[in-house]
Structure formats: C-alpha cells, structure tokens
C-alpha cells in the first residue's frame, strides 16, 4: 500500500501497483506530523495534541487502532467524552 495524508486530515490508501484508491478516512483534525509506521500500523499526530494509530486491512480500509486517542501532554485539547473512532 501507499498511504497519504493531507494537512487537513484526509487519509488515503492506494494500491502500489494499480494506483487505485482502496480506502480513505477523514480524521477531521489538522495533521502536524509525517506518517510513521511500525509493523502493520501507522501513526500520526493531529491538532488536538493526540497521537492516532491505524491498521490497514488487507482490502485497504483503514481502521483506528485505539478506542480513545493517546494524548502527549496535559494541556492538550481533550474531549474524551464525545470521542468516537473516525475510521
């Protein structure tokens, strides 16, 4: 897979050979980091200060790994009560 994310939070999964879009997800947050990967997971940091983790299914569909985002600092804009995974 090729994985792209816009600064506005639009995650796209592309088949590396056919260049066909397989899956997508709108995170609804501005992205402040590059995509980091480890094993079959990808990680990004977004504007509310949270770290988001995703797995990519075999069909190319992204799924959010955690039930709640991981926050990196005490002063981040947390809204855990109203948070649902976006993908």
The string of DSSP codes covering the chain is: -EEEE-TT-EEEEE-TTT--EEEEEE-SS-B-S--EEETTEEEEEBTTSEEEEEEE-TTS-EEES-SSPEESSTTS---GGG-----
pLDDT in tens, 23-54: 999 988 899 899 999 988 999 998 888 888 99
| CATH, domain 2-73, list 3.40.50.300, 2.40.10.480, 2.40.280.10, 3.40.1160.10 | 2.40.10.480
Tokens 């790994």 belong to 65
| d(C-alpha 76, C-alpha 87), whole Å | 22
- Record the pTM: 0.79
pLDDT in tens, 10-30: 999 999 999 999 999 998 889
Cα–Cα nearest to 33, from 48, 12, 20: 48
pLDDT recorded at residue 77: 60
**Which residue ranges make up each domain of the chain?**
2-73
| d(C-alpha 75, C-alpha 36), whole Å | 23
């Amino acid at each position: 897979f090729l994985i792209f994310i816009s600064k506005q939070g639009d995650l796209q999964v592309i088949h590396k050979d056919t260049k066909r879009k397989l899956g997508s997800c709108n995170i609804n947050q501005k992205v402040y980091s590059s995509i980091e990967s480890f094993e079959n997971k990808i990680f990004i940091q977004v504007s509310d200060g949270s770290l988001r983790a995703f797995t990519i299914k075999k069909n190319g569909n992204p799924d959010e790994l955690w039930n709640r985002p991981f926050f990196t600092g005490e002063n981040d804009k947390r809204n855990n009560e109203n948070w649902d995974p976006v993908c």
